[in-house]
Amino acid sequence: MFEDWMQRYEYMIELGKSLPLIDSAFKNDDHIIKGCQSKVWLYAHLDSDKIQLTADSDAIITKGIIAILIRVFTNQSPKDILEANTDFIDKIGLKEHLSPTRANGLVSMIKQIKMYAIAYQTKLNS
């Protein structure tokens, strides 16, 4: 059990290092998800009809979490993002990060990604 979590955290730290980093021009207060524990910057732009996500955080484990989310959600259409099921969080054993006291919590990151998807879907439909 102990080794199990260690491997998981080591993997998350590795993932954090591979995070597609936000362009420094967008790493500002307009793109921040402020939390009690660590900061997250998240940026989404539309490339043809797919959303591309980049991000950064001042904490490496948080970077790992957001890297997992980006793997799942990036390069997808706004519609697919909005319809995406988030049950995978439980399955990969990240449920504890759903707690509101945790960093920014996965919840607010997912919410932000879905907000971007709503905005871009509206733009595509108009």
Partner 1 sequence: MKLVAQDISKIREDFPILNRQINGRPLVYFDNAATSQTPTKVIETIVDYYQNYNANIHRGVHQLSQEATDAFEQARVKIQKHFNAAHAHEIIFTSGTTQSINLVANGFSSLLKKGDELIVSALEHHSNIVPWQMLCEKTGAELRVIDMLNDGTLDFNKFKSLLNSKTKLVFVNHVSNALGTINPIKSIISLAHQNGAAVLIDGAQAAPHIRANMQQLDVDFYTTSGHKLCGPTGIGMLYAKDEWLRKLPPYEGGGEMISEVTFEKTTYADLPHKFEAGTPNVCGAIAFGAAIDYMNSIGFEAIAAYENELLNYATDELLKIENLKIYGPDTSHKTAVISFNIVGIHPYDLGSILDKMGIAVRTGHHCAQPIMDFYSIPGTVRASFSFYNTKEEIDLLVRGVIKAKSMLL
Q: Using the structure block, give the residue that is written with the tokens 């971007």.
A: 116
Closest contact distance (angstroms) between CB of 62 and partner 1 is 7
Asked if residue 10 binds partner 1 (CB under 8 A), the reply is yes
Residue 37 found at the interface with partner 1 (CB under 8 A): yes
Rule CB under 8 A: is residue 1 a binding residue for partner 1? yes
- The two most distant CA atoms of the chain are separated, in Å, by 52
Would you count residue 7 as binding partner 1 (CB under 8 A)?
no
Which residue is catalytic, options 6, 13, 21, 36?
36
Give counts: helices (H), strands (E), the chain: 5, 3
Q: Which of 103, 106, 109, 117 binds partner 1 (CB under 8 A)?
A: 103
Active site residue 67: no
C-beta of 31 vs 44, nearer to partner 1:
31
Residue 118's alpha-carbon distances to 52, 113, 122, 124, 125, in angstroms, are 14, 9, 6, 10, 11
CB of 97 to partner 1, least distance (A): 9
Distance CA 107, CA 86 (A): 10
Q: Active-site residues: which are they?
A: 36
